[in-house]
Every structure is written in structure tokens, then in C-alpha cells.
């Protein structure tokens, strides 16, 4: 793919700086050497797949020319033909030049519920397709061999012009996502494509002005992907945005830190109402301490404790960094981009897709074109956003539309206001007339409808007047250079977690690592040998777990106080259940007494008045 010097200059001018975490094994590389080291396989399943084109004969041109596989068959590259054995893996891990990665235990950051979810996910890997152990190590060795021959740090990129916008699309290709095997993350897969965008506004004088930066990390989408160029939390070096790839996952974070991956709780939306009612009853009716956002607490309690480390304390690539970029422009003209719809690494058949390799820069795993490829502005939620220099003009245009709409509403309301009193008089006259019942009913309905419509129009006119005033204030602000909060458009942007450091860290981590397994094993032993009834065993084990957990987090007193309150709640439930009839009767008696006293007081007031 060839691009103009102007576009290449733009790509170089705004190319991002990637700051990796110490311990990272894979860096952005060119696709060519990777493909040349791969086999291309085809088949209905992983076991039945056969090599269609062996490594050594495969290159980007051949990859772009391969036919689509038969329906139901998958087509994928295989970078690692044979994972390391257990002995080889141990030797590789203990090699002298192995980078050391130090992090507090991820399980120590979360509670029991999240650890149980984690245990379920780990167990599910036994049933799902997964990347075999030793693959990441073998991939690292193969990647190092390639890098010794081709040390370039590469981004693939393209430039798209859409109306007033110029989109600089940067794509980073890695030989392997080793998040799970190297950094205790959620998944591994061969090859990895990540991307970010710099969104520019084309100015009338031919120059451009940066407006937005957009980068995707895991579950973010739409508005949450992008940061305004003047956002103080968007780090830049000159005109180069700084990105922090997650260790192993390479997810592109826009702020340095450590991120805990959150799993959405099924039916969470339905929990908000009851939990808020519980909160207000507890806080306002019972005057108890505010428990805070209970739905949020449920969500965080079930957050899967996979930590994405985006520390930025390792290799830096980009202007001023340890390595400079080599840009490779790509586009639909490239055969391997447009023609190859298969996966770029091992297809494990994982139903949750986490352990399957991704497809190429243009396609999803299903073969459809990625939105980020055909509609990058829509992907970043920018289709609805005005370029900076057109904000005032667009808003003034909108004010004119609103004003016209308001004037029309007022005019229609005035017309109705004139007509309805006459109609009301007619209906009043008809009520006293017999033989015209159907006509009367229709006119009465017309009157009611007109009255309702008039009310709606007047309300609409007031709302439009308010909207116009707000828009005019914003026009004034925009003219004065006063913009809204640069993060106002964000809904659920990822926030880095505080680092978990404590004096009891080592013991706490050991406990966190062992707790769920010990809990399950102890439950099995107690129930097997009938030491305690199952319900009592669960309560006892859970209590012991809480006590140990509280000890490590230095919250023993708080735990004991909470247990007291919990026992109070249990007792209240039991008493309510046991004395429901008496409670209802006493309540009714009290209500009757209040009514009698209130009525007597009213009678006395009337007599004395």
C-alpha cells in the first residue's frame, strides 16, 4: 500500500508513544516475518485441521491469495507448531535473562465472591478450548528469533478522510497475547491486534487540528473509547499521545496504572431498584449508617480479579523512547488485509473466544468487516459530534431550528386556546339536549383531546424556551473559549486501581491464593465425615474465612460489629416471622388509635374555633 507524503507525514506527526510494563515479552512487529514463520491450517475442528500451506512457503502475498475455506471449516495461522514441554518450560522460566515481574497477588485485591467466580473461570478452562501450556514460551523464543533478524518496531496505519474529519488509524500487531501465562490474566492467544486513533479536524487553510484520541481496552465502546485532546488526563509528549499497553494483553490504556477487569453481573439492572429501596429504608427509616451504592458493591464483589498491568515502567516505543517506529501503511489494496478472513493464530475453538486468535485488521472472527475499519468515527461515538471549529455554527443552527419549533408550538397553542372555549360552550349546550348523544360524546372527546394537546403544546413551548436559553449560553461559552468538562462524554471509562501494598501482603497473598481451594476442600471433608451438618459447616467455614480475611485487612473490630448487626437483622426476620399475626394486629390497633385521636383533635379544634 502506498500513501501520499502528506498522509505519511500526518501519521508520523501524531504517532503515539507506547510505554510497556517491565516484563513484557512481545512488542509491535511487522506482519510479514510473522506470517513467514507460520503454517496455514484448515479444517472443521482443531484436531482435524491440516496444514494447507507450510511455513517457509507462506508469505503475505500467498496469504492474501488463499481461497476462503469451505463452509463450517476454519482457517487459521499457527505460529507455534509445538509448545515447550514441562521441562523445557521450567528451564525457559528459570533462564538467567528472564525479566522479573513483581505484583501483589490479584486474588488479594478482591473478596470471596470474586475468588469463587475466578475459580469457576479457571475450572471452565478445562472444558473450553485453550491455548496449550508452553505455547507462550515457545512463541517468545520464536519472536526473539524474528526480532534478532528484524528489530523494527512497527505500526500498521492508514488515513481516512470523512467530511471535516481526518482519522489516523494506528494498528499494532503482536506475535502473542500471553496475559494468562505470563501475568496471571484472563486469556492467552496467538497473535494480537490492537489499535488506536488520532482524530483530526481538517481546517480551511489545509492544516489539521487534533481533536480526539481514541484507544480501545477490553470492554470499552463508543464514547468511552475517546478522550478530548485537551483532557488533562490524556498524557502527551508534544503532539504524540502516550498509551500504556496492558502487560501481555496489550490492551491500550490511556492512563498509567493497574486495571481490574469487571464482569457484568447478570440482571444487574433489575437489582438497582430493590437495592436502592433497601438502602433508603436502612438509612432513612432505621437511621442506620449509609451502606453506599449496594448495586455497585454487588458488582465489585463479583468482579473477576484479572489485573491488567499498564505500568509503563518498561520499554518505550515512539518519539523520544527506547525505539523509534517504523510505519507500514495498509489499506484495502493490500491482499493480505482484504483477502484473508481467517484467524491470525491458533484456533482453539474456545466458545467464549477468549483463547481464540483474532482475525486480521479488517475482519472479525466471523468474517464480517470490523466497524473500526469501515466506520472509525462511529466506532468512537463521533458520528454525532461536531468538529471543534463548527461547534458554534452547528449550535446556532440548532437554536434557529428550536426557535422555529417553539414558535410553531406557541402559534398552535394560541389557535387551540382560541378555539377550545367555544367548543366547551357547544358541549355544555349539548349536555342539555337529547337525541344527539353520539354527537355529544364525540364533541366531548374532541374537547378533552384538545385540552390535553394544548397542555402538551404549552409544556413543549416552555421546554423549548429553556433549551434555547441553554444553547445560547453554551454559544456564549464556546465563543469565549469555555468548554465543558473534557470527560463529560464518558459513561464507564476504565479507571486504574490503587496499588495494593501492605505489611501483611505476603501472608495475605498466600491466604488469598489458598482460601477458595481450602474452603471447598474443608467443606468436602466436613460433610464426608459428617463432622457437622452441611448448613452449619458452610456457616462455620464462611465465618472462619471472614475472620482470617478481616485479620489480614486489619478490620477485625469492624467485622465483629457487622456480624452483630447481621445477627440483629436475622433476629428481626425471625421475630417478624414468628409474631407476624401479633405485629399486624398491633399495627392495626395503633393505626386505629391514631385515627381516633386525630379525629378527636379535629373535632376539638373545630369546636374551639
Partner 1 sequence: MQEEVTGAPTSVVRHRPLGILVVVALGLGRLIIEVTALVTVDPSGILGWVAGGSNIPEFAAGTTAWYVGSIGILLVMVATAASVAGLWRYRTWGWSLSLILAGVILAVDLAWWYAGQPRYPGMFLNMVAVFYLNQRDVRAIFLPSSL
Which positions lie near partner 1, rule CB under 8 A?
Answer: 283, 286-290, 557, 560-561, 563-565, 567-568, 570-572, 574-575, 578-579
For 546, left (φ over 0), alpha (ψ -120 to 50), or beta? alpha
CB of 510 to partner 1, least distance (A): 29
> Burial letters for 448-464: b for 16+ Cβ neighbours within 10 Å, e otherwise?
eebeeebeebbebbeeb
- Four-point Cα dihedral 79, 82, 87, 92, nearest 10: -20
Is the Cβ of residue 429 or residue 580 nearer to partner 1 in the bound state? 580
CB of 232 to partner 1, least distance (A): 33
CB of 497 to partner 1, least distance (A): 25
Is the Cβ of residue 92 or residue 282 nearer to partner 1 in the bound state? 282
Is the Cβ of residue 523 or residue 556 nearer to partner 1 in the bound state? 556
Is the Cβ of residue 290 or residue 463 nearer to partner 1 in the bound state? 290
The x, y and z cell numbers of residue 303, run together, are: 468482579
CA 588 – CA 243 distance, rounded (Å): 66
Q: H-helix or E-strand containing 516? A: helix 505-528
Is the Cβ of residue 442 or residue 561 nearer to partner 1 in the bound state? 561
CB of 564 to partner 1, least distance (A): 3
CB of 290 to partner 1, least distance (A): 8
Cα–Cα nearest to 153, from 10, 18, 331, 8: 18
CB of 532 to partner 1, least distance (A): 13
> Measured at the alpha carbon of residue 57, what is the angle toward residues 53 and 61, in degrees to the nearest 5?
90
What Rg, from alpha-carbon coordinates, does the chain have?
A: 33
CB of 571 to partner 1, least distance (A): 4
DSSP string, 489-500: T-SS---PBPP-
Is the Cβ of residue 289 or residue 421 nearer to partner 1 in the bound state? 289
CB of 569 to partner 1, least distance (A): 9
CB of 542 to partner 1, least distance (A): 14
CA 412 – CA 409 distance, rounded (Å): 5
CB of 563 to partner 1, least distance (A): 6
CA 575 – CA 591 distance, rounded (Å): 21
Is the Cβ of residue 218 or residue 283 nearer to partner 1 in the bound state? 283
Q: CB neighbours of 59 closer than 8 A, spacing ≥ 6?
A: 32, 35, 36
The x, y and z cell numbers of residue 94, run together, are: 528459570
Is the Cβ of residue 9 or residue 584 nearer to partner 1 in the bound state? 584
Cα–Cα nearest to 357, from 92, 76, 87: 76
CB distance 245 to 188 below 8 Å: no
CB of 574 to partner 1, least distance (A): 6
Is the Cβ of residue 73 or residue 283 nearer to partner 1 in the bound state? 283
150-to-8, 39, 145, 161, 473 alpha-carbon distances in Å? 22, 20, 9, 32, 57
User: Where are the extended beta strands (E) located within 165-225?
Assistant: 165-177, 189-202, 208-215
CB of 203 to partner 1, least distance (A): 54
* Beta bridge partner(s), residue 236: 241
CA 516 – CA 606 distance, rounded (Å): 70
CB of 519 to partner 1, least distance (A): 22
Cell 498524557 sits on residue:
235
Q: For the chain, how far is it from start to end, CA to CA, in angstroms?
A: 95
Is the Cβ of residue 283 or residue 365 nearer to partner 1 in the bound state? 283
User: Where are the extended beta strands (E) located within 475-557?
Assistant: none
The x, y and z cell numbers of residue 533, run together, are: 451438618
Is the Cβ of residue 291 or residue 590 nearer to partner 1 in the bound state? 291
CB of 293 to partner 1, least distance (A): 18
Is the Cβ of residue 98 or residue 536 nearer to partner 1 in the bound state? 536
CA 578 – CA 576 distance, rounded (Å): 6
Is the Cβ of residue 542 or residue 579 nearer to partner 1 in the bound state? 579
CB distance 65 to 338 below 8 Å: no
CA 215 – CA 202 distance, rounded (Å): 21
Is the Cβ of residue 122 or residue 536 nearer to partner 1 in the bound state? 536
In the chain, DSSP finds a helix count (H) and a strand count (E) of 18, 16
DSSP string, 230-273: T-TTS-EETTEEEEEEPTTT--EESSSEEEEEPPPPTTHHHHHH
Q: What are phi and psi of 342, to 5 degrees?
A: -75, -175
CB of 285 to partner 1, least distance (A): 11
Q: CB neighbours of 197 closer than 8 A, spacing ≥ 6?
A: 167, 168, 169, 170, 212, 213, 214, 215, 226, 376, 380
Q: CB neighbours of 148 closer than 8 A, spacing ≥ 6?
A: none
Is the Cβ of residue 433 or residue 576 nearer to partner 1 in the bound state? 576
Amino acid at each position: 500500500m502506498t500513501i501520499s507524503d502528506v498522509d505519511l507525514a500526518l501519521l508520523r506527526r501524531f504517532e503515539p508513544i507506547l510505554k510497556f510494563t517491565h516484563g513484557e515479552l512481545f512488542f509491535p512487529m511487522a506482519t510479514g516475518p510473522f506470517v513467514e514463520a507460520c503454517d496455514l491450517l484448515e479444517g472443521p475442528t482443531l484436531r482435524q485441521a491440516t496444514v494447507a500451506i507450510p511455513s517457509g512457503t507462506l508469505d503475505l502475498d500467498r496469504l492474501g491469495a488463499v481461497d476462503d475455506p469451505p463452509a463450517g471449516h476454519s482457517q487459521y495461522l499457527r505460529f507455534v507448531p509445538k509448545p515447550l514441554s514441562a521441562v523445557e518450560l521450567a528451564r525457559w522460566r528459570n533462564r538467567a535473562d528472564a525479566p522479573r515481574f513483581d505484583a501483589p497477588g490479584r486474588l488479594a485485591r478482591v473478596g470471596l465472591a470474586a475468588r469463587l467466580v475466578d475459580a469457576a473461570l479457571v475450572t471452565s478452562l478445562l472444558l473450553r478450548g485453550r491455548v496449550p501450556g508452553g505455547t507462550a514460551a515457545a512463541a517468545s523464543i520464536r519472536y526473539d528469533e524474528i526480532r534478532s533478524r528484524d528489530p523494527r518496531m512497527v505500526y500498521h496505519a492508514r488515513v481516512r478522510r470523512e467530511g471535516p474529519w481526518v482519522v489516523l488509524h494506528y494498528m499494532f500487531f503482536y506475535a502473542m497475547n500471553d496475559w494468562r501465562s505470563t501475568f496471571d490474566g484472563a486469556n492467552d492467544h496467538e497473535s494480537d491486534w490492537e489499535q488506536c486513533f488520532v482524530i483530526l479536524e481538517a481546517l480551511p487553510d489545509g492544516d489539521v487540528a487534533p481533536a480526539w484520541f481514541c484507544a480501545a481496552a477490553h470492554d470499552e465502546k463508543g464514547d468511552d473509547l475517546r478522550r478530548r485532546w485537551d483532557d488533562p488526563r490524556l498524557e502527551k509528549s508534544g503532539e504524540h499521545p502516550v498509551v500504556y499497553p496492558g502487560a501481555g494483553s496489550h490492551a491500550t490504556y490511556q492512563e498509567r496504572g493497574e486495571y481490574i477487569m469487571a464482569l457484568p453481573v447478570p440482571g444487574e439492572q433489575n437489582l438497582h431498584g430493590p437495592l436502592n429501596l433497601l438502602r433508603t429504608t436502612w438509612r432513612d427509616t432505621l437511621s442506620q449508617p449509609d451502606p453506599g451504592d449496594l448495586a455497585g458493591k454487588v458488582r465489585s464483589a463479583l468482579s473477576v480479579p484479572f489485573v491488567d498491568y499498564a505500568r509503563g515502567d518498561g520499554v518505550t516505543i515512539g518519539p523520544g523512547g527506547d525505539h523509534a517506529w517504523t510505519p507500514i501503511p495498509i489499506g484495502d489494496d493490500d491482499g493480505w488485509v482484504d483477502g484473508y478472513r481467517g484467524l491470525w493464530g491458533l484456533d482453539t475453538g474456545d466458545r467464549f473466544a477468549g483463547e481464540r486468535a483474532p482475525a486480521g485488521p479488517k475482519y472479525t472472527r466471523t468474517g464480517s468487516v470490523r466497524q473500526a475499519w469501515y466506520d472509525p468515527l462511529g466506532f468512537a461515538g463521533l458520528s454525532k459530534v461536531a468538529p471543534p471549529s463548527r461547534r458554534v455554527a452547528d449550535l446556532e443552527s440548532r437554536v434557529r431550528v428550536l426557535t422555529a419549533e417553539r414558535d410553531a408550538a406557541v402559534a398552535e397553542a394560541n389557535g387551540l386556546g382560541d378555539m377550545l372555549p367555544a367548543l366547551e360552550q357547544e358541549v355544555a349546550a349539548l349536555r342539555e339536549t337529547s337525541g344527539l348523544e353520539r354527537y355529544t360524546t364525540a364533541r366531548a372527546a374532541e374537547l378533552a383531546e384538545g385540552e390535553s394537546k394544548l397542555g402538551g403544546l404549552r409544556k413543549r413551548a416552555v421546554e423549548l424556551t429553556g433549551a434555547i436559553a441553554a444553547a445560547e449560553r453554551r454559544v456564549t461559552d464556546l465563543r469565549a473559549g469555555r468548554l465543558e468538562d473534557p470527560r463529560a462524554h464518558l459513561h464507564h471509562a476504565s479507571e486504574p486501581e490503587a496499588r495494593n501494598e501492605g505489611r501483611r501482603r505476603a501472608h495475605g497473598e498466600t491466604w488469598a491464593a489458598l482460601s477458595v481451594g481450602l474452603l471447598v476442600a474443608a467443606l468436602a471433608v466436613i460433610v464426608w465425615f459428617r463432622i457437622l451438618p452441611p448448613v452449619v459447616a458452610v456457616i462455620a467455614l464462611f465465618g472462619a474465612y471472614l475472620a482470617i480475611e478481616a485479620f489480614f485487612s486489619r478490620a477485625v473490630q469492624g467485622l465483629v460489629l457487622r456480624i452483630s448487626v447481621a445477627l440483629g437483622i436475622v433476629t428481626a426476620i425471625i421475630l417478624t416471622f414468628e409474631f407476624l399475626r401479633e405485629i399486624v394486629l398491633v399495627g392495626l390497633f395503633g393505626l386505629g388509635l391514631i385515627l381516633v385521636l386525630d379525629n378527636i383533635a379535629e373535632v376539638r379544634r373545630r369546636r374551639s374555633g
